[in-house]
Amino acid sequence: MESTISDDSRTLADRVFTRLQDDIVRGALLPGTKLGEAELASRYGVSRGPLREAIRRLESRKLLERIPHVGTRVASLSLGDLIEIYHIREALEGMAARLAATHMTDAEIHSLVELLGQHEQQQDLREDVAYFQREGDLDFHYRIIQGSHNGTLIDMLIGGIYHMVRMYRYQFSTVANRPQRALQEHRRIAEALESRDAEMAEILMRRHISRARQNIEAQHGLGAADSFSSETKQGPGPVEQSK
Amino acid sequence: MESTISDDSRTLADRVFTRLQDDIVRGALLPGTKLGEAELASRYGVSRGPLREAIRRLESRKLLERIPHVGTRVASLSLGDLIEIYHIREALEGMAARLAATHMTDAEIHSLVELLGQHEQQQDLREDVAYFQREGDLDFHYRIIQGSHNGTLIDMLIGGIYHMVRMYRYQFSTVANRPQRALQEHRRIAEALESRDAEMAEILMRRHISRARQNIEAQHGLGAADSFSSETKQGPGPVEQSK
DNA sequence: CCCGGCAAGATTGTCGACAATAAGCGACCC
DNA sequence: GGGTCGCTTATTGTCGACAATCTTGCCGGG
């Protein structure tokens, strides 16, 4: 059920880049999995040329780890890295919220409020709203980032950080275990945007992300961040290719 | 640990990536220049395969703009983008300074202070300290970023943003026209780090970068602070380098 | 029994050639 | 005379093959 599937990027390299990124982010390829070029090439039905270009791009995005003459593996990242990312998100998305309070159009804000309404309905309908809320949360943040109208910031956040966030979420099953509260916080942020209160929007957004981070820290034990690299070699065989 | 960043990489693709990036950042290739693959391949003495991989990586770093089936050009970026970048630097390097105040070792801080001493001497020796101060400024910021001991932040700043900053500096000849003042601000930041005052370090760093941004804005006559998001792709006319 | 060197296998890195697409240009039609 | 269509050409995209390097298993020596 993919909406707007195709960036039908004209070139094969771009398409395999997108597909590979999706497979990594969605957890179809487990972190640490060794990716043989020949295998991937036959899997995606392309030659090794475009595949290597895609790999280099994913490597730039820190989704793949490559060692020259050895091979490429799906980036297996520690909990500490996730915490680092959340700290950065706090700074960057706080800034995005502040900018959004000024630069967002009325239509954009209205649409955002509508989105929150949908989330509330979904919340009312089912308790098992993990997946929807999870995606919805991303959607909410996406819109505010876009609302900053700062192209560089948008690229950095959406093109550079959010893929990692999504990968972590799937990996750790970091389902928002407090969707109720998160939704309330979203609502507050939206209210600040509606009243064009930039400072308040930034503060609330920073708080929101900070709480999410604390939640993760508490959920996964404590912050023994450094020595947490489980090097268990995952078997390369059972990689499912979800269409 | 390798200190020389030049061409330490074993593979041709990595080396041509580094060399191409250097040529772009240092202004050897003017923004807007169309890069033919065959020409570049012969210039760097490699085949088109590794070259294309390097191009894809530079494209990810926003140093190259590529249009499928059309070609690749050196990213020609507007002044507005530079302002955006400085806003982001303000948030990110402010955070870096705050973290550095806590996580930097005494040795690192001491070395930083020594570096500032060298800058002062250079400043005393010659008035035409543009180049040294320029590189020195980068060096100062580099060290504080590294001092944050936040790997993701370091990657994002040094690997993702600073190349653009350097490119802009060469392009606009944005030489620090107030090295005296900048050096003073650096000194203050270092003092805050010495006294482990995280909050102060962040505030001073944010101020420092904010002033640099204002300086650029004033220097280039673009007084419009709010509407810097000129979405219209203002082609920098004179760089039409077609053969 | 353990360690170091060596060879075989496999995988990655690189290259040259072929195919597909878009820009440039001229001729033809309105 | 202007506009549009089709062809030419150059450039990019893709592919298969060759070479370099790392890994792995084996053999011999200490």
- The pLDDT tens digits of the residues spanning B124-171 come to 555 555 555 667 778 899 999 999 999 999 999 999 999 999 888 877
Instruction: Read off the pLDDT of each residue in B184-200 and give the average, rounded to a whole number.
Output: 96
Please, which pLDDT band fits residue A242 given cuts at 50, 70 and 90? Answer: very low
Mean pLDDT computed over every residue of chain A = 84
pLDDT at residue A218 in the model: 87
Q: Which residues contact A159 (CB under 8 A, 6 or more apart)?
A: A61
**Two structure tokens written together for B140:** 């100062």
Task: Look at residue B240 in the predicted model and tell me its pLDDT.
Answer: 39
Mean pLDDT computed over B34-45: 94
| Range with the poorest average pLDDT among A14-23, A148-157, B213-222 | B213-222
Please tell me the pTM assigned to this model: 0.85
Q: Which residue is nearest to nucleotide C21 (CA to C1')?
A: B69
Mean pLDDT within A69-73: 94
Q: Identify whether residues B184 and B127 lie together within a single domain.
A: yes
Q: Would the Cβ of B36 be found within 7 angstroms of any atom in strand C?
A: no
User: Total structural domains in chain A?
Assistant: 2
Please tell me which of the candidates A57, A68, A95 has its beta carbon nearest to residue B57: A57
Coil, helix or strand for B72?
Answer: strand
Q: Please name the member of A81, A92, A153 whose beta carbon is closest to the beta carbon of B84.
A: A153
Model pLDDT, residue A123: 62
Q: What are phi and psi of B73, to 5 degrees?
A: -130, 155
Say if residue A224's pLDDT is above 80: no
CB of B154 within 8 Å of a chain A CB? The answer is no
- In angstroms, how far is the first alpha carbon of chain A from the final one? 10
Nucleotides of C under 7 A from a protein CB: 11-17, 21-23
Tell whether A118 and A149 lie within a shared domain: yes
Å from the B192 CA to the C27 C1': 75
Q: Domain end: A39, A74, A109, which one?
A: A74
CATH code for position B44: 1.10.10.10
Residue–nucleotide distance: B189 CA to C15 C1' (Å)? 52
Q: Using H for helix, E for strand and C for coil, what is the string for chain A?
A: CCCCCCCCCCCHHHHHHHHHHHHHHCCCCCCCCEECHHHHHHHHCCCHHHHHHHHHHHHHCCCEEEECCCEEEECCCCHHHHHHHHHHHHHHHHHHHHHHHHHCCHHHHHHHHHHHHHHHHHHHHCCCCHHHHHHHHHHHHHHHHHHCCCHHHHHHHHHHHHHHHHHHHHHHCCCCCCHHHHHHHHHHHHHHHHCCCHHHHHHHHHHHHHHHHHHHHHHCCCCCCCCCCCCCCCCCCCCCCCC
pLDDT at A124 over 80: no
> Can you say how many angstroms the Cα of residue A83 is from the centroid of all Cα atoms in its chain?
14
Q: Is the CB of B69 under 7 A from strand C?
A: yes
Neighbouring CB atoms inside 10 A of A116's CB total 18
Provide the CATH number for the domain around residue B234: 1.20.120.530
Pair (B133, B223) in one structural domain: yes
% of chain A exceeding 90 in pLDDT: 63
CB-nearest partner of B56 from A57, A87, A92? A57
State whether the beta carbon of B243 lies below 7 angstroms from any atom of strand C.
Answer: no
Residue/partner pairs of B60-63 with CB below 8 Å, 24 or more apart:
B60/A57, B60/A60, B60/A61, B61/A60, B61/B21, B61/B159, B61/B160, B61/B163, B61/B164, B62/A155, B62/B164, B63/B21, B63/B24, B63/B25, B63/B163, B63/B164, B63/B167
**For position A222, what pLDDT does the model report?**
57
For residues B90-114, average pLDDT: 96
Name the more confident of A123 and B96. B96
Give yes or no for residue A113 having a pLDDT over 50.
yes
B 34-53 residues inside an 8 A Cβ radius of A: 49, 52-53
Task: Count CB neighbours of B83 within 10 A.
Answer: 22
Same domain, B65 and B32: yes
User: Do B64 and B89 fall into the same domain?
Assistant: no
Interface with B, mutate which of A56, A99, A157 (most B CBs under 10 A): A56
Question: Are residue B65 and residue B115 in the same domain, yes or no?
Answer: no
B229 touches chain A (CB under 8 A): yes
The pLDDT > 90 percentage for chain B reads 62
Shared-domain flag, residues A228 and A153: yes
Would you state the pLDDT for residue A121? 75
Which residues of chain B does A18 touch, with a Cβ-Cβ cutoff of 8 Å? none
Candidates B84, B162, B232, partner chain A, best to mutate (most A CBs within 10 A): B84
- The rounded Cα B14 to chain-centroid distance in angstroms is 20
> Residue A189: is its pLDDT beyond 70?
yes
What share of chain B has pLDDT > 70, as a percent?
A: 80
Asked whether residue A228 carries a pLDDT value surpassing 70, the answer given is: no
Q: What is the mean pLDDT of residues B190-203?
A: 97
Mean pLDDT for B234-238 is: 40
CB contact (8 A) between residue A85 and residue B152: yes
Last residue of a domain, one of A74, A93, A119: A74
The Å distance, CA of A234 to C1' of C5, is 31
pLDDT for position A2: 39
pLDDT tens for A201-211 read 999 999 999 99
Closest by Cα among A182, A179, A194 to A144: A194
**The pLDDT of residue A173 is above 70:** no
More confident residue, A68 or A173: A68
Residue B107 has pLDDT above 80, yes or no: yes
Q: Report yes or no: B97 and B205 within 8 Å, Cβ to Cβ.
A: yes
Q: Count of A–B CB contacts within 8 Å?
A: 86
pLDDT at residue B9, rounded to an integer: 64
User: Of B130-139, B221-230, B233-242, which range is least confident?
Assistant: B233-242
Identify the pLDDT of residue B206.
97
Are A86 and A193 part of one and the same domain?
yes
What's the mean per-residue pLDDT of chain B?
A: 84
Is the CB of A117 within 7 Å of strand C?
no
Q: Answer yes or no: is A211 CB < 7 A from strand C.
A: no
Tell whether A58 and A25 lie within a shared domain.
Answer: yes
Residue A225: closest CA among chain B residues belongs to which residue?
B150
Copy the structure tokens of residue A199: 């400072």
Q: What's the confidence (pLDDT) of residue B40? A: 94
Same domain? B42 vs B90: no
Distance, angstroms, CA A234 to C1' D24?
19
| B199 vs A139 pLDDT, higher one | B199
Q: Nearest-CA residue of chain A relative to B164?
A: A152
**Within 7 Å: CB of A237 and strand C?**
no
CB atoms A57 and B61 under 8 Å: no
Same domain (yes/no): A30, A93: no
Domain boundary (A47, A74, A101) is at A74
* Chain A residues 101-120 with a CB less than 8 Å from chain B: 102-103
Residue ranges making up the domain that contains B89: 79-242
Mean pLDDT of A211-237: 59
Residue B179 and residue B129 share a domain: yes
User: What pLDDT, in 10s, does the model give residues A135-157?
Assistant: 777 889 999 999 999 999 999 99
Mean pLDDT, residues A34-55 = 95
Q: Does pLDDT of A5 surpass 60?
A: no
| CA B77 to C1' D4, whole Å | 36
**Yes or no, beta carbons of B87 and A94 under 8 Å apart:** no
- Assess A70–B contact: CB distance below 8 Å, yes or no: no
What b-and-e string marks burial along B116-154, b requiring 16 or more CB atoms within 10 Å of the CB?
beebeeebeeeeebeebbbebbeebbebbbbbbbbebbb
pLDDT at B88 over 90: yes
Q: Is B54 exposed, middle or buried (0-12, 13-18, 19+ CB in 10 A)?
A: buried
Query: pLDDT band at B174, cuts 50/70/90?
Result: low
